[in-house]
């Protein structure tokens, strides 16, 4: 048997294992009983791995590896998204740096440049996902712009168009003047900004009761050029006498009416609201109700169009400044107030969005959302955690028609064709250059492309042969689970459900798992601009993929947002360290060292079944059986964080710190029979543990398993651990022994109390101590049966047991559940000096607590301090409170 190296090097082992797994075909779809098909949320083709991807992919790989080991049919579908706006923006920027204009080169050549960019940079994130150890089928990669996928997208558009679900209309959209395209509400990002509220006077055409003008309050004075009305609230009786009157709009001399509408909040500003139907969604709605003209004052770059004199050609900011100046000069600027408000920004280029009236294509969702709501209400699709169900249902209740057109060149071009000669229009599966109605040749295709989410909504079925080869979906659709972020429940999850139900008559997936949002150490969003983003590739280079993956899984709790513990160099933006990932690497080392110790002590080993020869054997096998059942249930229920934390606690605390330590005596000094049996037990426990750990830590477990001999678990015939059998709870149930666990746990508690006391007072590990235990008669009998074990392992000289035991003089008390454990320190510790030292520590701790509590009770501090600072103070307060209680207990022991 080849001996395991002294040290484990993930930078060498991990790439070698990835190659071995792929070469052996382990990543390809597997056959089995029951299906586990998962589609990866397609990352942008030109993107790079970030912490959200790393979390998402770790969860998916953990689930896929687990199901593969359980013998289920597994298929993990890889693919990337063409990322319309993102890719076009990057290519446009590259061309501009070369002095090339997209408009001058033309659409076809620009698309060639986009394909070149995609081919050059498109594989980066895929290679990074591969480096993580994700066991995804890299030979079956999909792309949203491939010919097969493009055909599916076109069919969806044409079918919905002919079924009356897609239409073209002129509506208010969120327009990005930089990207020059519409952006959906769900893609817009709100940012709090410091702004102003301008109060502008609009003269009445005829005074009313000596009222010569009305004063409107607005955050956007520049849009007043497009005002076509003034609105007041019907709940504002003082202003009703002005309803029906008109004002003369300054600058443009446009007479506009005053009317009453429920959209108006009478408490906002002056209660008079300027209405610009072409530049505000609420104003648009009021304009529709009151038949107001819709005047678009901006072009696609948010510059004022011709016809507005000196203001024409100005951008939004210039126009705002000029309008305010004009009002001031003409005595019509009443006053200005400071205002904090939220402003929508483009999620790609961060430009402030412009509500803009334009002609766009829409999906009428009323015929789609009812069934998509019912499948979630009925439990056909379940959200995990369950609280996200209501988020989905609320969004569906308020769903508006979906704007699907984008004014880009890169993407799926809208397959609608027009005849300039006779006015014919239709959506076609094949391109047309001759009008089928009049035979004319002046036929052109719609210039816009589809929203990226339109194509990705087909992801679960268009990646599996639909529409031309639906037989490929059999047994793999609906997919098992979608793992994704909460941000795209509306953008993607809901639309996938609607489209899948419409075109396949099936739900797209049975479960939706929403993973935690990873925040920076200070609780803020990670971003490149802030320099607080953590690069997963840096983490893997420093700590290994196993450590990064394991740390990510342990972060998952019932709380949605998690803070990633990492220190970043503010100048270079490079990773300095990540303490929690360092701890995870320590766990990798622990796994390796414990396994190596066992492997080095297997001389004379012959495979055989495990047996409970000693109390610790019975305890260990029972604990293992329960952890097998617990881990299986947790992974079935998507409790990934609990699974990772529990399996670490079991292996580190119970297998390594207790069982392996307790087996050393039999390994070194036992009879040949005792040595062989303890070897079999250790190999069995180690084998099962590696299988349980493998889904989240595939590399180190595979490396260990490769060096293990066959155990009693199976014949070890699988070439790789990743395709070996999962420990099935039913097969381990035979080892469950609650009595053995209870009895051994009592002895453990006594030994632990002695060890902790020895450590607290810095006594030699070899110093033997006298111990008395006050307990029930039943527990005393159990402890008596394990007297030899307690005295040997705990280094106890005299052990007194029974319910009548009293606290000996010069001893300290450790209360542990039903046991009161008295550890005599005698002449080993100067009790008086120790009590004096502890009292000084107590005084300092109480003084520090008083200072922290005083700070937290200061309302001014709490109101102004950063959330991270307040949180740190509160943690300090809690820690000091605990320390004080512990010190008081220790002092009481000595008194």
Give binding residues for ATP as ranges.
Answer: 528
Structure tokens at 794: 């705990």
Contact criterion met (CB below 8 Å) for 653 and 659 = no
Tokens 């689970």: give the residue: 481
Burial (0-12, 13-18, 19+ Cβ within 10 Å), 646: middle
Structure tokens at 417: 């064709």
DSSP letter, residue 591: H
d(CA 311, CA 715): 83
Contact criterion met (CB below 8 Å) for 622 and 740 = yes
Cβ atoms within 10 Å of 463's Cβ, excluding its own: 29
Structure tokens at 472: 């490929």
CA-wise closest residue to 633 among 100, 209, 70: 70
Cα 290 to Cα 248, 272, 356: the distances in Å are 18, 16, 19
d(CA 78, CA 81): 11
**Residues of the binding site:** 528
Cα 768 to Cα 765, 787, 793, 894: the distances in Å are 8, 15, 11, 20
Tokens 């607590």: give the residue: 849
d(CA 837, CA 593): 39
The string of DSSP letters for 789-802 reads HHHHHHTEEEEEES
Structure tokens at 246: 């008109």
DSSP letter, residue 731: H
List the beta bridge partners of residue 81: 44
Backbone φ/ψ region at 731: left (φ over 0), alpha (ψ -120 to 50), beta:
alpha
What does the chain come to in residues? Answer: 895
Contact residues for 822 (Cβ-Cβ < 8 A; gap 6+): 771, 772, 773, 774, 805, 807, 808, 811, 812, 813, 814
Contact criterion met (CB below 8 Å) for 764 and 749 = no
Structure tokens at 578: 């990540």
Half-sphere exposure of 577 (CA within 13 A, CB side): 6
List the beta bridge partners of residue 568: 575
Q: For residue 579, how far is the Cα from the chain centroid?
A: 20
CA-wise closest residue to 347 among 54, 42, 79, 84: 84
Structure tokens at 564: 């990633």
Pairing of strands 509-514, 382-384: parallel
Helix (H, G, I), strand (E, B) or coil at 27: coil
Structure tokens at 825: 């320190």
Which ranges of 304-439 does DSSP label H, i.e. alpha helix? Answer: 316-329, 366-377, 388-397
Tokens 């075109």: give the residue: 503
Half-sphere exposure of 235 (CA within 13 A, CB side): 8
Range 78-102 burial, b when 16+ CB lie within 10 A, else e: bbbbbbbbbbbbbbbeebeeeeeeb
Contact criterion met (CB below 8 Å) for 781 and 773 = no
Contact residues for 41 (Cβ-Cβ < 8 A; gap 6+): 56, 482, 483, 484, 488, 492
């Amino acid at each position: 048997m080849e001996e395991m190296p002294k040290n484990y090097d993930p930078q060498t082992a991990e790439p070698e294992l990835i190659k071995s797994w792929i070469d052996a075909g382990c990543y390809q779809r597997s056959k089995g009983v029951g299906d586990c098909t998962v589609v990866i949320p397609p990352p942008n083709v030109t993107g790079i791995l970030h912490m959200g991807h790393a979390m998402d992919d770790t969860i998916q790989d953990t689930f896929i590896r687990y199901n593969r080991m359980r013998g289920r049919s597994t298929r993990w579908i890889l693919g990337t998204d063409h990322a319309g706006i993102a890719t076009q923006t990057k290519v446009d920027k590259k061309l501009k740096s070369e002095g090339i204009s997209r408009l001058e080169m033309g659409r076809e050549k620009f698309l060639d440049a986009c394909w070149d960019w995609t081919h050059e940079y498109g594989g980066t994130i895929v290679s990074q996902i591969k480096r993580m150890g994700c066991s995804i089928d890299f030979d079956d990669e999909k792309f949203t712009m491939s010919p097969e996928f493009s055909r599916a997208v076109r069919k969806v558009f044409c079918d919905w168009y002919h079924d009356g679900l897609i239409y073209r209309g002129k509506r208010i959209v969120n327009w990005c003047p930089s990207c020059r395209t519409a952006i959906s509400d769900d893609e817009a990002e709100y940012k709090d900004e410091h702004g102003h509220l301008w109060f502008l006077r609009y003269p009445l055409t005829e005074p009313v009761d000596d009222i010569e003008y009305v004063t409107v309050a607005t955050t956007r004075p520049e849009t007043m050029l497009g005002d076509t009305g003034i609105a007041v609230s019907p709940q504002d009786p003082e202003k009703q006498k002005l309803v029906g009157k008109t004002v003369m709009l300054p600058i443009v001399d446009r007479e506009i009416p005053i009317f009453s509408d429920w959209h108006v909040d009478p408490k906002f500003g002056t209660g008079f609201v300027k209405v610009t139907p072409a530049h505000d969604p609420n104003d648009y709605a009021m304009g529709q109700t009151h038949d107001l003209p819709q005047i678009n004052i901006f072009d696609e770059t948010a510059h004022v169009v011709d016809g507005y004199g000196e203001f024409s050609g100005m951008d939004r900011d210039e126009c705002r400044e000029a309008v305010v100046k004009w009002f001031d000069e003409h005595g019509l600027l009443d006053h200005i107030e400071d205002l904090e408000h939220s402003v929508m920004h483009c999620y790609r280029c961060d430009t402030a969005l412009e509500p803009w009236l334009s002609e766009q294509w829409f999906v009428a969702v009323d015929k789609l959302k009812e069934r998509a709501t019912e499948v979630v209400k009925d439990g056909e699709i379940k959200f995990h955690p369950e609280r996200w169900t209501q988020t989905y249902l609320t969004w569906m209740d308020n769903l508006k028609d979906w704007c699907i057109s984008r004014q880009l060149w890169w993407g799926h071009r809208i397959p609608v064709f027009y005849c300039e000669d006779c006015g014919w229009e239709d959506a076609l599966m094949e391109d047309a250059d001759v009008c089928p109605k009049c035979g004319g040749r002046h036929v052109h295709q719609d210039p816009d492309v589809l929203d990226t989410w339109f194509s990705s909504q087909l992801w679960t079925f268009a990646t599996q042969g639909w529409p031309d080869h639906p037989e490929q979906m059999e047994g793999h659709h609906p997919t098992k689970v979608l793992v994704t972020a909460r941000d795209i429940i509306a953008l993607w999850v809901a639309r996938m459900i609607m489209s899948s139900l419409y075109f396949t008559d099936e739900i797209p997936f049975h479960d939706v798992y929403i993973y935690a949002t990873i925040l920076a150490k200070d609780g803020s969003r990670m971003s490149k601009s802030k320099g607080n983003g953590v690069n997963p590739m840096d983490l893997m280079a420093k700590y290994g993929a196993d450590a990064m993956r394991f740390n990510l899984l342990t972060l998952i709790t019932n709380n949605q947002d998690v803070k990633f513990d990492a220190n970043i160099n503010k100048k270079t933006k490079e990773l300095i360290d990540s303490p929690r990932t360092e701890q995870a690497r320590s766990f990798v080392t622990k796994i390796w060292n414990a396994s190596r110790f066992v492997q080095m002590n297997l001389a004379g080993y012959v495979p055989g079944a495990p047996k409970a020869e000693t109390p610790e054997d019975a305890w260990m096998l029972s604990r293992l059986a329960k952890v097998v059942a617990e881990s299986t249930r947790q992974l079935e229920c998507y409790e990934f964080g609990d699974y990772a934390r529990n399996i670490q606690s079991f292996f580190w605390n119970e297998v390594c710190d207790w069982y392996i330590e307790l087996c050393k005596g039999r390994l070194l000094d036992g009879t040949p029979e005792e040595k062989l049996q303890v070897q079999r037990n250790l190999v069995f426990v180690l084998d099962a543990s590696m299988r349980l750990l493998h889904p989240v830590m595939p590399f180190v477990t595979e490396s260990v398993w490769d060096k293990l001999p066959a155990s009693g678990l199976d014949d070890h015939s699988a070439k790789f651990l990743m395709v070996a059998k999962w420990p099935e709870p039913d097969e381990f149930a035979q080892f469950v022994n609650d009595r053995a666990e209870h009895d051994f746990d009592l002895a453990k508690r006594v030994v632990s109390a002695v060890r902790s006391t020895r450590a607290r007072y810095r006594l030699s590990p070899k110093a033997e101590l006298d111990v008395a235990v006050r307990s029930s008669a039943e527990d005393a009998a159990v402890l008596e049966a394990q007297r030899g074990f307690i005295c040997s392992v705990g280094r106890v000289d005299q052990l007194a047991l029974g319910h009548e035991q009293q606290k000996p003089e010069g001893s300290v008390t450790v209360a542990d559940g039903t046991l009161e454990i008295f550890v005599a320190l005698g002449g080993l510790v100067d009790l008086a000096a120790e009590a004096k030292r502890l009292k000084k520590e107590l005084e300092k701790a109480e003084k520090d607590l008083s200072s922290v509590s005083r700070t937290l009770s200061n309302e001014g501090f709490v109101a102004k301090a950063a959330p991270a600072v307040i949180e740190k103070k509160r943690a300090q307060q809690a820690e000091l409170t605990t320390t004080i209680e512990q010190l008081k207990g220790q002092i009481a022991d000595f008194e």
